[in-house]
């Protein structure tokens, strides 16, 4: 009988000393809230790609890179606005009068955004049609991207004769 009493106290002592801590299960749900509050890779800068050109008498094809805070090219949701200006030579501000303002292009929907994205170039492609004859003059094309986090990114490119 004394053996059973010692065995009982030994088992109870082991259970008390080892504790009964509940195992914490960390699932992916624990981290999902952190990613919804902020985006790790947000657009910081846009730049016209060197492929941007007048492709036809009434069309400009713009290729634009979007860069994150680390300098990597990324896809980003946003609303794009394009404006074409006359080029004013030998001026502190070479953008003269506005020639054309295109309707805003919304790339906030994933399907539409993916249609404008050129995977092999890692940039966006926009075909901009214009009624004005662009032959014989130099112009400045300006792109503005209004990002999902309410920022305004812009760049300009000179379209030579």
Is residue 50 one of the residues assigned to a domain? Answer: yes
In a domain, 24, yes or no: no
Q: How many domains does the chain have?
A: 1
CATH value at residue 87: 2.60.40.1940
Give percent of the chain above pLDDT 70: 84
In tens, the pLDDT along 105-119 reads 999 999 999 999 999
pLDDT tens figures, 88-104: 988 888 999 999 999 99
Residue 8 pLDDT: 73
Question: How confident is the model at residue 6, as a pLDDT?
Answer: 77
- Within-domain flag for 6: no
Question: Given a cut of 80, is residue 65 above it in pLDDT?
Answer: yes
Q: Is residue 144 in some structural domain?
A: yes
Got the DSSP string for 20-51? -PPPP---THHHHHHHHHS-SS---EEEE-TT
The pLDDT score that the predictor gives to residue 70 is 93
Q: Which domain holds residue 142?
A: 45-159
- Report yes or no on 2 lying in a domain: no
Question: Cβ atoms within 10 A of the Cβ of 16, count?
Answer: 9
Residue 113 belongs to a domain: yes
pLDDT in tens, 22-63: 555 554 454 444 444 556 788 999 999 999 999 888 899 999
């Amino acid at each position: 009988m004394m053996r059973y009493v010692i065995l009982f106290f030994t088992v109870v002592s082991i259970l008390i000393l080892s504790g009964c801590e509940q195992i914490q299960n960390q699932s992916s749900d624990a981290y999902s809230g952190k990613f919804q509050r902020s985006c790790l890779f947000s657009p910081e800068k846009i730049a016209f790609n060197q492929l941007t050109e007048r492709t036809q008498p009434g069309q400009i094809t713009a290729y634009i890179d979007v860069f994150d805070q680390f300098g990597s090219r990324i896809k980003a949701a946003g609303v794009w606005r394009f404006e074409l200006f006359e080029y004013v030579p030998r001026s502190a501000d070479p953008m003269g009068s506005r020639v054309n303002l295109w309707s805003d292009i919304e790339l906030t929907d994933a399907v539409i955004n993916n249609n404008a994205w050129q995977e092999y170039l890692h940039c966006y492609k926009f075909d901009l049609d214009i009624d004005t004859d662009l032959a014989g003059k130099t112009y400045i094309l300006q792109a503005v991207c209004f990002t999902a986090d309410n920022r305004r990114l812009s760049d300009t490119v000179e379209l030579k004769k």
